[in-house]
Structure 1
Amino acid sequence: MLKSVKVRDYMITDLVTFKADTDLFKAIDVLIERRISGAPVVDDEGHLLGLLSESDCLRGILSGSYFEEAGGRVESVMTCGVETVDAAADIVKAAEHFIHRGRRRLPVLEDGRLVGQISRRDILRAVQHFNDHAAPK
Structure 2
Amino acid sequence: MVKSFQGVRMAEPKKAPIPQILVKEYMSTGLITFKPDDTIDQVMEMLTKRRISGAPVIDASGALVGIISEVDCLKEIIKGKYTNTPKFPAKVSEHMSIDVLTLSPDLSIFDAASQFLEHKIRRFPVMKDGVLLGQISLSDVIRAFPTLRQTTW
Residue in structure 1 matched with residue 37 of structure 2 by the alignment: 21
Judging by fraction of residues, say which structure has more helix: 1
Alpha-carbon distance in 2 for matches of 1:21, 1:2 = 46
Using the aligned pairs only, state the percent identity.
Answer: 39
Q: 1:54: Cα distance to partner? A: 1.2
- Label 1:82 to 1:129 Cα distance change in 2 as closer, same or farther (>3 A): same
The unaligned stretches of length 5 or more in structure 1 are none
Superposition map of 1:28-107 within 5 A: 28-64=44-80, 66=82, 70-107=88-125
Alpha-carbon distance in 2 for matches of 1:42, 1:110 = 15
* TM-score for both structures, normalised by structure 2: 0.74
- Label 1:100 to 1:43 Cα distance change in 2 as closer, same or farther (>3 A): same
Alpha-carbon distance in 2 for matches of 1:2, 1:80 = 37
Larger Rg: 2
Superposition map of 1:2-17 within 5 A: 4-17=20-33
Please provide the CA RMSD for this pair: 2.4
Residue in structure 1 matched with residue 12 of structure 2 by the alignment: none
Map Cα deviations across residues 49-97 of structure 1 (whole Å, 9 max, x no partner).
1111112112023235546775121111111101111112222210111
Amino acid at match of 2:23: V
Alpha-carbon distance in 2 for matches of 1:58, 1:89 = 32
Amino acid at match of 2:128: E
Alpha-carbon distance in 2 for matches of 1:119, 1:66 = 32
Structure 1, 118-127 or 86-95: larger mean CA deviation: 118-127
Contact 1:2–1:92 under 8 Å retained in 2: no
Map Cα deviations across residues 20-69 of structure 1 (whole Å, 9 max, x no partner).
11122112111111121111111133321111111211202323554677
Alpha-carbon distance in 2 for matches of 1:55, 1:68 = 20
- Label 1:62 to 1:17 Cα distance change in 2 as closer, same or farther (>3 A): same
* TM-score for both structures, normalised by structure 1: 0.82
Residue in structure 1 matched with residue 128 of structure 2 by the alignment: 110
Amino acid at match of 2:137: S
Equivalent residues, number: 134
Alpha-carbon distance in 2 for matches of 1:29, 1:2 = 44
